Amino acid sequence: MKTDRLVAAQIGCGKFAWQQDLKNLSTRSDVMLKWVCDVDPDAARRAAEHFKAPCQTTDFMEIMKDPEVDFIKIATSHEVHLPIIEAAARAGKHIFCEKPMAMTNEEGWKIISAVRRGGVKICVDLNRRMSPAIQALRRQWLAQAADPKHQAWRYIEKQREPLPEENLPHLLIRIQDESSSYGLGHLNPLSGGGEIIGESVHWLDLACWFFAPQLPCEITAWGSSRLSHGIFLRFDRGAGMTLDFSCTGTFDFPKELYEVTDNAALFRSHGFVENTYYGIPGLEPEYFPLQSDPYPEMGQGVDALMRRYLTRVQGCTNAKKLETTVPMIVDKGHIHMLNAFLDAIRKDLPSPCDELAGFRATYLAQRAIEALESKSTLPIPIEKITPCI
């Protein structure tokens, strides 16, 4: 890095890269998007032309040989993360990698070793932990845990010491998704690994971040590792997370709902646009803007989000085209993760989601699949989630 303007290279120019990476990197004054790379030469060419990147290639090793490149962003299929990361680490380039960081535990160990040996930073885009709505949810929960406040009308039948399990926080995550949008590559066991590996690493990471410094100690799972499933994750001081992931839902309603219950209170975040709090006197709802909002005049919150959605899809017969012509994206934390990663590079700070967090999400996903297949609850040994590498 010769100046404050970092030089970036995008590896993988598919749908997600167009929605997030290429747009976010090419519109910043503090980043120069120099390279785009894709195994499909037409995809690389289209991305280079649209986002005005001066260099394009189908071979990521060309990027590694460019001394000007400070960091790469990986948005490829999952199975090629490891060789790209190893090459970047050898070349001394920082790495921003889409989730999952790795598909297997062995790949995760190799990545930890590579980035530490290369002395580079890696950030895994497990972005839910950086969403403003989820950050606010955790802040309010921690404040209540530190200094509990209750409504004057709270019902208490008889004063008594609470039972041990009455003081254990619980995080419920409800995901309702529509699987007709899934590419088969995402479900392919060689390139995608299914939805627990490809998607639920998001919420496994989120639970670990949310309840830190507690560590996960036990996991149960049910359903299908490829599509709909559930996971229960217990932590060593008693906190718990339940994930309910359904692929038979509809895009006509927000995909994600988060609820924390603790100390006679409910903390609720819906669709990344509205947080509501119950059982705590004086705590008002919080509202969060969209990342990309075609109808800013329509107000705040979930109801306003639904009005935006219905206006956007009225008369539409091509949803895929709508994504580019009228983009409407809630703030799941992508830009905030990028901002934090760039600060980490410039100021030599810790990565906002480092190689250990990336490994831990993969390990827990693999362990969930084992629990699902064996129809049993499995331990999470501390030496497995704190590898000595």
Look up the CATH number of the domain holding residue 85. 3.40.50.720
239, 271: one domain: yes
**Exposure pattern of 17-46 as b/e (b: 16+ CB <10 Å)?**
bbbbbbbbbbebeebbbbbbbbeeeebbeb
Say if residue 115's pLDDT is above 80: yes
Confirm whether 387 is domain-assigned.
no
Domain's final residue, options 67, 100, 127:
127
Question: pLDDT digit string (tens) for 45-89?
Answer: 999 999 999 999 999 999 999 999 999 999 999 999 999 999 999
Residue carrying structure tokens 């530490």? 116
Domain's final residue, options 101, 127, 153:
127
Residue carrying structure tokens 């590079």? 345
| Amino acid 65: pLDDT | 97
Confirm whether 319 is domain-assigned.
yes
- The top-scoring range by mean pLDDT among 149-158, 187-196, 250-259 is 250-259
- Give the model's confidence band at 319: pLDDT under 50 very low, under 70 low, under 90 confident, else very high: confident
207, 71: one domain: no
111, 142: one domain: no
Confirm whether 303 is domain-assigned.
yes
Confirm whether 357 is domain-assigned.
no
Domain's final residue, options 69, 96, 127:
127
Write out the DSSP string of 96-142. Answer: EEPSPS-SSHHHHHHHHHHHHHHT--EEE--GGGG-HHHHHHHHHHH
SS3 string, 294-322, reads CCHHHCCHHHHHHHHHHHHHCCCCCHHHH
| Amino acid 176: pLDDT | 97
- Give the model's confidence band at 198: pLDDT under 50 very low, under 70 low, under 90 confident, else very high: very high
| Number of independent structural domains in the chain | 2
Confirm whether 337 is domain-assigned.
no
Say if residue 1's pLDDT is above 90: no
251, 293: one domain: yes
Please say whether the beta carbons of 233 and 378 come within 8 A.
no
Confirm whether 117 is domain-assigned.
yes
Confirm whether 12 is domain-assigned.
yes
- Rounded to whole angstroms, how far apart are CA atoms 258 and 131? 12
Write out the DSSP string of 45-79. Answer: HHHHHHHT-SEEES-HHHHHT-TT--EEEE-S-GG
For the whole model, what pTM was predicted? 0.95
Q: List Cβ<8 Å contacts ≥24 apart for 246-253.
A: 246/175, 246/176, 246/177, 247/177, 247/178, 247/179, 247/182, 247/195, 248/178, 248/179, 249/176, 249/177, 249/178, 250/176, 250/178, 251/178, 251/181, 251/319, 252/309, 253/176, 253/306
226, 101: one domain: no
| Amino acid 3: pLDDT | 59
95, 191: one domain: no
21, 105: one domain: yes
Cβ neighbors of 296 (< 8 A, separation 6 or more) are 289
What is the mean predicted confidence (pLDDT) over 350-365?
98
- Rounded to whole angstroms, how far apart are CA atoms 52 and 38? 15
Residue among 151, 259, 129, 282 at smallest CA distance from 206: 129
Say if residue 310's pLDDT is above 60: yes
Residue among 298, 300, 297, 328 at smallest CA distance from 312: 328
235, 91: one domain: no
Confirm whether 343 is domain-assigned.
no
122, 86: one domain: yes
| Amino acid 157: pLDDT | 84
119, 136: one domain: no
222, 83: one domain: no
Say if residue 354's pLDDT is above 60: yes
Q: Domain span at residue 297?
A: 129-332+363-374
Look up the CATH number of the domain holding residue 318. 3.30.360.10
319, 193: one domain: yes
Question: pLDDT digit string (tens) for 229-280?
Answer: 999 999 999 999 999 999 999 999 999 999 999 999 999 999 999 999 999 9
Say if residue 205's pLDDT is above 60: yes
What mean pLDDT, rounded, does the chain reach? Answer: 95
Q: Is 268 helix (H, G, I), strand (E, B) or coil?
A: strand
What is the mean predicted confidence (pLDDT) over 15-35?
94
Token readout for 168 is 């254990």
* 296: preceding bond cis by omega (within 30 degrees): no
